[in-house]
């Protein structure tokens, strides 16, 4: 499961998404090749007026969470997310599209060192 991702393309380069946006600034966040949990990420989500791009903090505070400073999960298993109490309501009602160009997975070498590998489309 990825713990870092990157977005280097401008919002306008996500052509299929941008076509339906309303009232979005051309660049809401600068490009970043190392977006980590708790940092700002650019997402597209539904508003009353239509699709809107906006920056959000990466991590989920569940609806039943009393304290926004609690540990924020950054990912979930697709096989169980719809049933797990932590993610159930978000999966049903609060979806968004995270705009990214790729993500990183880590490989641990025999000597214990870790090497990041970037996965993305060409």
- Measured CA to CA, the distance from residue 101 to residue 38 in angstroms comes to 19
Cβ atoms of 44 and 97 within 8 Å: the answer is: yes
Among this protein's residues, is 2 annotated catalytic?
Answer: yes
Q: Is 75 left (phi over 0), alpha (psi -120 to 50) or beta?
A: beta
What is the tens place of the pLDDT at every residue in 49-103?
Answer: 888 888 988 888 777 777 767 678 888 888 998 999 888 888 888 778 889 999 9
Whether 54 is a known active-site residue: answer no
Backbone φ/ψ region at 73: left (φ over 0), alpha (ψ -120 to 50), beta: beta
Higher pLDDT, 15 or 93: 93
Query: Which of 2, 54, 79, 83 does the annotation list as catalytic?
Result: 2
Retrieve residue 20's tokens.
């339906």
pLDDT in tens, 100-119: 999 999 999 999 999 999 99
């Amino acid at each position: 499961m990825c713990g870092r991702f990157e977005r280097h393309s401008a919002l306008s380069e996500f052509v299929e998404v941008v076509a339906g946006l309303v009232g979005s600034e051309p660049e809401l966040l600068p490009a970043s090749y190392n977006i980590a949990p708790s940092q700002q990420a650019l997402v597209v989500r539904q508003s009353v007026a239509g699709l809107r791009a906006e920056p959000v903090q990466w991590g989920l505070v569940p609806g039943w969470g009393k304290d926004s400073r609690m540990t924020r999960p950054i990912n979930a298993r697709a096989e169980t997310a719809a049933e797990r109490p932590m993610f159930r309501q978000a999966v049903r009602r609060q979806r968004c599209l995270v705009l990214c160009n790729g993500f990183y997975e880590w490989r641990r070498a025999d000597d214990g060192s870790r090497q990041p590998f970037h996965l993305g489309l060409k």
